[in-house]
Structure 1
Amino acid sequence: MLTALIILWPALAALLVLLVKGPGARKIAFGAALVELVLGVWAWINFVPNGSTQFLLNEPWIANAGIMFKVGIDGISLLMVLLTVFLVPLIILSTAKHTYEKPSSFYALILFMQTGLLGVFTALDAFVFYFFWEVALIPIYFIAGIWGGENRVRVTFKFFIYTVFGSLFMLAAFVYLYFQTPGTHSSEEVAFYQLVLDAGTQSWLFWFLFIAFAIKMPVFPFHTWQPDTYTTAPAAGTMLLSGIMLKMGIYGALRWLLPVVPLGVSQWADVALVLAIIGIIYGAIIAIRQQDMKRLVAFSSISHVGLIAAGLFTLNHHGLQGAMIQMLSHGVNVVGMFFIIDIIQSRTGTREIAAMGGITQNTPFLSVTFLVLLLGTVALPLTNGFVGEFLLLMGVYQYNAWMGAVAGLTIILGAVYMLRMFQRVMFGEKNEITQGFTDLTFNEKAVLVPLVVMVFWIGLHPNTFLMISEPAVLKLLDVIKR
């Protein structure tokens, strides 16, 4: 029942928020998100990291077709649940300085999206997974399309078409796999894992599933929707997309691609790795050339996610564990970076790097938090980014030394574009735009301090989180290599 409560509580709270008018909607949404955080922490406290699925709910859904509403939490899904329940209240709190038209609808959509995200991360049935995959898309479509910036309709429509296109490939693969299960048929995860399919069938199934998940991550060359969508969406929408939603693609590959079609993965792993590594270099080089801070971080996200994807397809312990911890770290860092950019834009009216300068002179709190999150992003030792990138690069290197060397360029290139942005925005002389720049407010500190704490917690004590996923990852590797 705990898993069901974790999934359904945000949706129930969203219905309540819809009844509230004015600024009270944000307060109720924030309170509901804090309750959800407590539920997630309770699940963590009571979770036993032994590789099993816990807090299981398994009820008939479409009983005549053998489709069950089956959800539960193992070590892999628990980390994603914790990331989601941790970030959503901070994202809601980060909107305090903004005034939205129809705020009740805005905050209700955030909570509805949280339900979709948590459903994806806990689903143990293919069609339940697909249902929540689509549920998570609808709220962000409206958030970006209604409250976004210039060209929001065109940009959001492109994002929607891309995602739905990928979803149809995934649905086709799931339907085929369902009909391959023996007897009355089943769409449960374990039934798909037990299928014995020939290499040719697994080969085309690999691409059907890979395309769906690669679009959501996104992996090169399925990334073209991402920079415009991240840039155009309102700040809270961008944080939801980058901090949590892209993890759906990585999680989907872990849960439904690697163990279901292992022969297909072994055939195409080199191609997937090459695409991921191209994304690492491509995203970093384009980020270096950006003058808009938000677009720079958007392209940097492509680069970082490319490394996570590369780790997945190494099919080794370091690569998968690196992907798990880096999903946490990337979520923390990218939400912090986009929030700081939103703060700077709200104070100056621009995101252009060339227009900035001298901000650090009167902003000690902003300067320190900005620098900490930036150093986590560029994987400085003792920060969260270092742990994940070290494990990922070790995994890629074990798979192929040359690929590991090329993927390692992410550390150098990341330092170039991030440190150069920080230098040009924060240092130098003040100008008319930055002259009256003020330091962080209480609300802004309340968002950034927990993120900074997580940067050091994951960096200094990574085993707190690695030990959660370790047994489940080892179990998954056994399924993949069966």
Structure 2
Amino acid sequence: MLALTLILIPFIGSILLFLLKGSNVSTSKNVALFSSLITFAVAIYTFATFNPLVPIEAKYTWMKDLNINFHIGIDGISLLMIALTTFLVPIIILSTYKFSYKNHATFYMLILLTEVALLGVFMAKDIFLFYFFFEAALIPVYFLAAIWGGKDAPRITFKMFVYTIFGSLFMLVAIVYLYIQGATVNIQELYTTGKLISPTNQNLLFWAFFIAFAIKMPVLPFHTWQPDAYSESPTPATMLLSGLLSKMGVYGLIRILLPLAPIGVTNWGFFGMILSVIGLIYGSIIAIQQNNIKRLIAYSSFAHMGLMAAGVLSGTLSGIQGALLQMVAHGINAVGLFFIIKIIYDRTNTRELSALGGITQKTPALSIYFMIIMLGSVALPLTNGFVGEFLLLKSVYDKNVWLGAIAGLTIILGAVYMLRLMQRSMFGESNQVTAKFKDVSGTEVAVLLPLAILVVLMGVFPNIFLKITEPAVNSILQIISSK
């Protein structure tokens, strides 16, 4: 019942917001925040009482003739992603409290519907249900970006929509093929079907799933929609895209691609790693050159996703565990950084790095939060980014020394673009744009403080998260090794 409750609470909240379209802004915000906080409370209870030996599932008949069920469940991998989703959604909602958006009830309804779809993706035990939620997650974010984004948002979000739908068509064909071969839609049962498929068809399955997930993350060369979409979307939508929706791609690699096409991964996984590492270096170099601070963080996010994809495709315990830990760390850091960029823009009316400087002279609190989250992003030891990045680099290095050495450049390049951002925006002499910059307060602190705390806690106690996911990861590795 816990699994179903996690989906129902934000769904009921979205219905309430639909019925409250004529209400004031404060009511819409409070309903959305209250719904997301209750969902987070249920997730905390699930996290605290989780036992990998006791299944948490819910199964209801959906399309009886096709044997498709509304089948959801929670294991260690799902639980980590549920915790990330239910933590970040109320943070994202809280980050909007100082602002008013037109059609506010619809705005918050779409955020909650995105949470419903994300939780569905991370809990789906039926592959058609996984596909349904995977596609459904895009729809509310598309409208958030298109309606409340910048002047070019409709064109840019349409490009994002076309890219994602294009990739998903390949996945749908692969799912239908697996359904015909195995006469089942249960993901666990399809793992057996996948191993019985010929190597040639497994290669095709690899590419069908890889393209779909690579677009969602994104991975080179399927990334061209991402920088513009992140830059033109309103900050809450950017937070959802970078902090959560991109994680569906990495999750899909772990849950779907690796165990369903193990021979395909053996044959083509290393090529996928090469693409991912090239994207990692390319994204980092472009981030260094950016003057627009929001696009800088967008390219930084692209680079981080490339390393996660490479780690997963290595097919090793360290690679998958590192990717899972890094998904959580990156989600926290990305949301924090995009929110700080939003604060800077609202106070200065510019995102140009060359126009900033000297902000730290009047903002001790913001400077501390910015520094902590930035250090997490560059994977300083004892911050949330360190252990995950170390495991990911180890997995790539173990697979190929030269590829690992190239991927290791992320340590240097990441420090360059993030320290450049910090130095040029926060330090130096203040100017006419930043002279009256006010420090963070109220809900801004309420957003940044828990993010900063988690940056440190995850860095000091990473085993809390690694131990939860290890049994489920080992189960997937056993399936791969028995191909």
Q: TM class by shorter-chain length? A: over 0.9
Amino acid corresponding to residue 323 of structure 1 in structure 2: A
The 2-side partners of 1:476 and 1:223 are apart by 28
Equivalent position of 1:444 in the other structure: 444
Equivalent position of 2:375 in the other structure: 375
**Contact 1:109 / 1:140 at 8 angstroms: preserved in 2?**
yes
SS at structure 2 position matched to 1:194: helix
Equivalent position of 1:71 in the other structure: 72
The 2-side partners of 1:251 and 1:258 are apart by 10
Question: Which aligned pairs between 1:44-63 and structure 2 lie closer than 5 A?
Answer: 44-50=47-53, 54-63=55-64
The 2-side partners of 1:250 and 1:218 are apart by 9
User: What is the aligned-residue RMSD (CA, Å)?
Assistant: 0.8
Equivalent position of 1:474 in the other structure: 474
How far did 1:19 drift? 2.5
Equivalent position of 1:319 in the other structure: 319
Amino acid corresponding to residue 97 of structure 1 in structure 2: K
Equivalent position of 1:331 in the other structure: 331
CA offsets 1:192-235 (integer angstroms, 9 cap, x no match): 10111110010111101100000000000000000000000000
SS at structure 1 position matched to 2:61: strand
5+ residue gaps, structure 2: none
Runs of 4+ residues deviating >2 angstroms = none
Question: Which aligned pairs between 1:108-257 and structure 2 lie closer than 5 A?
Answer: 108-181=109-182, 185-195=183-193, 196-257=196-257
Percent identity between matched residues is: 53
The 1-side partners of 2:188 and 2:390 are apart by 32
The 2-side partners of 1:240 and 1:319 are apart by 24
Amino acid corresponding to residue 379 of structure 2 in structure 1: A
How far did 1:150 drift? 2.1
The 2-side partners of 1:277 and 1:34 are apart by 37
Amino acid corresponding to residue 48 of structure 2 in structure 1: I
**Contact 1:49 / 1:469 at 8 angstroms: preserved in 2?**
no
Equivalent position of 2:357 in the other structure: 357
Amino acid corresponding to residue 123 of structure 1 in structure 2: A
How far did 1:290 drift? 0.3
SS at structure 1 position matched to 2:41: helix
Q: 1:27 aligns with which of 12, 30, 51?
A: 30
The 2-side partners of 1:65 and 1:415 are apart by 52
**Contact 1:25 / 1:107 at 8 angstroms: preserved in 2?**
yes
Amino acid corresponding to residue 142 of structure 1 in structure 2: F
Equivalent position of 1:100 in the other structure: 101
The 2-side partners of 1:124 and 1:49 are apart by 16
The 2-side partners of 1:9 and 1:252 are apart by 24
The 1-side partners of 2:113 and 2:11 are apart by 5
CA offsets 1:174-203 (integer angstroms, 9 cap, x no match): 00000001xxx2111022101111100101
**Contact 1:49 / 1:467 at 8 angstroms: preserved in 2?**
no
CA offsets 1:349-396 (integer angstroms, 9 cap, x no match): 011000001100010000000010000000101001111100111111
**Contact 1:337 / 1:370 at 8 angstroms: preserved in 2?**
yes
Q: 2:44 aligns with which of 41, 56, 63?
A: 41
The 2-side partners of 1:256 and 1:141 are apart by 25
Amino acid corresponding to residue 100 of structure 1 in structure 2: Y
CA offsets 1:65-106 (integer angstroms, 9 cap, x no match): 111211000000100000000000000000112210010000
Amino acid corresponding to residue 47 of structure 2 in structure 1: W
**Structure-2-length-normalised TM-score:** 0.98
SS at structure 2 position matched to 1:259: helix
The 2-side partners of 1:16 and 1:355 are apart by 43
Equivalent position of 2:293 in the other structure: 293
